[in-house]
Amino acid sequence: MDKKDFYQLVENRKSIRKFKKDPVPKDSLERILAAAMQAPSGKNRQNWRFYIVQGKKRDEYLKHSQKSWLGIKDVLKARLKPSLYDFTERFFFTLGDAPVLIFAFSHNSSEEKYLTSIGSVYMAVENLNLACTVEGLGCCTMGAPLEIKDDVIKFLDLTGDPEIKSKELELLCGVVVGYPDHNPPKAPRQIEGRIHWLE
């Protein structure tokens, strides 16, 4: 691969919050998940777990997404300009019509530092974001489901799961996936104060 292509890909990735209703072919989903699982992980534990939600089950999640909005809206009201606030509210109410919803969990272990486990899963989630871009798909990683962790666990039918009960298995984020139906501007990056060189 050309060096330029990689940096262009990283730059092209952006969060998409409005989707066409077209379904995503299973082989595309399999490829983005395979790419996710190429990520590095602490002690190579590959401690990511993914739950892929589509169809009627995905529609069922909307009521939970709407509830998660309540936990987040006051912070966003203070931070976002009104038009963006309204857009974000709509996103939580509809998931931007995304046909696919992926939940990423971390399997934590006393043999590995907590933050290493969490970081490993987020590396996989970024791979998944980049793979979506390559596939012509859009996605948006969402911390919002963490506002309603218990509801998500019930929704995924995991309440009785021994690893959930022992808190070994921990929800980290949701990712909506689908074909983009908007082309938002790239969120600007700040460099100042982010990098410190030492010699």
Ligand X SMILES: Cc1cc2nc3c(=O)[nH]c(=O)nc-3n(C[C@H](O)[C@H](O)[C@H](O)COP(=O)(O)O)c2cc1C
Residue placing its CB nearer to ligand X in the complex, 32 or 142: 142
| Residue closest to 30 by CA, chosen among 96, 94, 100 | 100
Residue placing its CB nearer to ligand X in the complex, 94 or 198: 94
CB 31 to ligand X: min, Å: 21
Which residue's structure tokens are 């979506």? 132
CB 199 to ligand X: min, Å: 31
Residue placing its CB nearer to ligand X in the complex, 117 or 141: 141
- Neighbouring CB atoms inside 10 A of 198's CB total 3
CB 163 to ligand X: min, Å: 22
Contact residues: ligand X, CB under 6 A = 14-15, 17, 88, 91, 140-144, 173, 187
Residue placing its CB nearer to ligand X in the complex, 100 or 142: 142
Residue placing its CB nearer to ligand X in the complex, 55 or 143: 143
CB 81 to ligand X: min, Å: 14
Taking each continuous run of H as one helix and of E as one strand, the counts in the chain are: 8, 4
DSSP 180: B
Token digits of residue 113: 């530092």
Long-range Cβ contacts of 121-126 (<8 Å, 24+ apart):
121/41, 121/47, 121/48, 121/172, 122/172, 122/173, 123/39, 123/40, 123/41, 124/36, 124/37, 124/39, 124/41, 124/48, 125/36, 125/172, 125/173, 125/175, 126/39
Q: Supply the angle between the helices 82-94 and 55-70 in degrees, to the nearest 10.
A: 140
CB 27 to ligand X: min, Å: 25
